[in-house]
Homo-oligomer: A and B are copies of this chain.
Amino acid sequence: MHIMIIGAAGMLGSKTAKRLTQKGQLSGKRIERLTLVDVVEPTAPDGFAGTADLRVCDLSVEGAAASLMAERPDIIIHLAAIVSGEAEADFAKGYAINLDGARWLFEAIRLAGDAYCPRVVFTSSIAVFGAPFPDRIGDDFILTPLTSYGTQKAIGELLLADYSRRGFFDGVGIRLPTICIRPGAPNRAASGFFSNILREPLKGEDAILPVEETVRHWFASPRAAVEFIVHAAEIDTRLLGSRRNLTMPGICATVRDEIDALRRAAGDGAVALIRVAPDESIQRIIAGWPQEFDTKRAESLGFCADASFDDIIRIHLEDEMQGGRS
């Protein structure tokens, strides 16, 4: 089996490559080849027994995806995207990478010929939803994104469903919750503070909280997100019918719930490192975000959320901090 990851240099991409290396097989078939694609050179995962090809390629350039399809990967995991803050700041770049990038990839698959029909896993986002919301957002709720990023992801979902319906590929779209705790340095996602207020204090560093503690949102650990991706690559898509895009289960929590979990994991000293500094622009963006979902459809298909916010912190300590705090 040959798996291609596009956006392989990113956080989820590199973790997915690592997880596939650990698993060694997918749906009972040995993973013989991994092709890792990104706009910057990705890193091959340690210990992969098969062939790992590293490719530098910008899919937002028409025609770039065609050469990748010459390799005929059995599974394509499309993670490449620019984040919400940057897509909002640079309108043209957001559409080029998040919309055209996905579309040219889908077109390259369609035009590959030979009845080629790979599994495509597309990572969408809960940013496809926009206020006003019902209390819990069900699987039938309209996509009314309030950001350009959410719009681009919603369009990707529609394309994925149509290309799948036409038999050009076998697509699964997964709407990821906000990833928490996001490792590494802060990026331009407006949701960054949800991770910053945990990650930085766990390292003994200050963090800024720009919103009220009552703000409620929907979360998954990086480890849960990687499991969603792997499960989407393996799932029997006949169970999906025509609705190829699924909201992933998550943990519904307030900022206060996050802080309480931080206190349980690291004590009052860590909590004291959080500095409250209200930011109206972030508050305005957050006000249009969803809080809670009904994800029984994804759950019935075998997608599993983290168990609790305490687990989300434990996973960060295990995966990013060798199990302990610095």
Contact = CB atoms under 8 A, between A and B. Distances in A.
Interface in A131-155: 131, 134, 139-146, 148, 151, 154-155
A166 interface: yes
Contacts of A172: none
A258 to B, nearest CB: 28
Contacts of A134: 140
Interface stretch (A27-35, A157-165, A183-191): A157-165
A118 interface: no
A210 interface: no
Contacts of A155: 155, 158-159
A192 interface: no
B166 A143 contact: no
Interface in A261-318: 288
Nearest to A241: B132
Contact of A143 (B139, B158, B165, B288): B158
Interface string A91-116: 10000000000000000001000000
Contacts of A139: 142
Given A143-B142, A155-B155, A148 B130 contact: no
Interface string A215-239: 0000000000000000000000000
Contacts of A166: 91, 148
Interface residues on A, range: 20 to 34
Given A91-B166, A130-B242, A166-B91, A161 B142 contact: no
A154 B158 contact: yes
Residue from A155, A162, A242 whose CB has the most chain B CB atoms within 10 Å: A162
B143 A140 contact: no
A148 B162 contact: yes
A19 interface: no
B140 A142 contact: yes
A66 to B, nearest CB: 15
Contact of A158 (B140, B151, B165): B151
Contact of A242 (B146, B148, B154, B165): B146
A161 to B, nearest CB: 7
Interface string A237-249: 0000011000000
Nearest to A162: B151
Given A140-B142, A155-B158, A158-B158, 20 more contacts: A91-B110, A91-B166, A134-B140, A140-B141, A142-B143, A143-B143, A143-B158, A144-B161, A144-B242, A145-B158, A145-B161, A145-B162, A148-B162, A148-B166, A151-B158, A151-B161, A154-B158, A155-B155, A155-B159, A242-B288
21 contacts: A91-B110, A91-B166, A130-B242, A140-B142, A142-B142, A143-B143, A143-B158, A144-B161, A144-B242, A145-B158, A145-B161, A145-B162, A146-B165, A148-B166, A151-B158, A151-B162, A154-B158, A155-B155, A155-B158, A155-B159, A242-B288
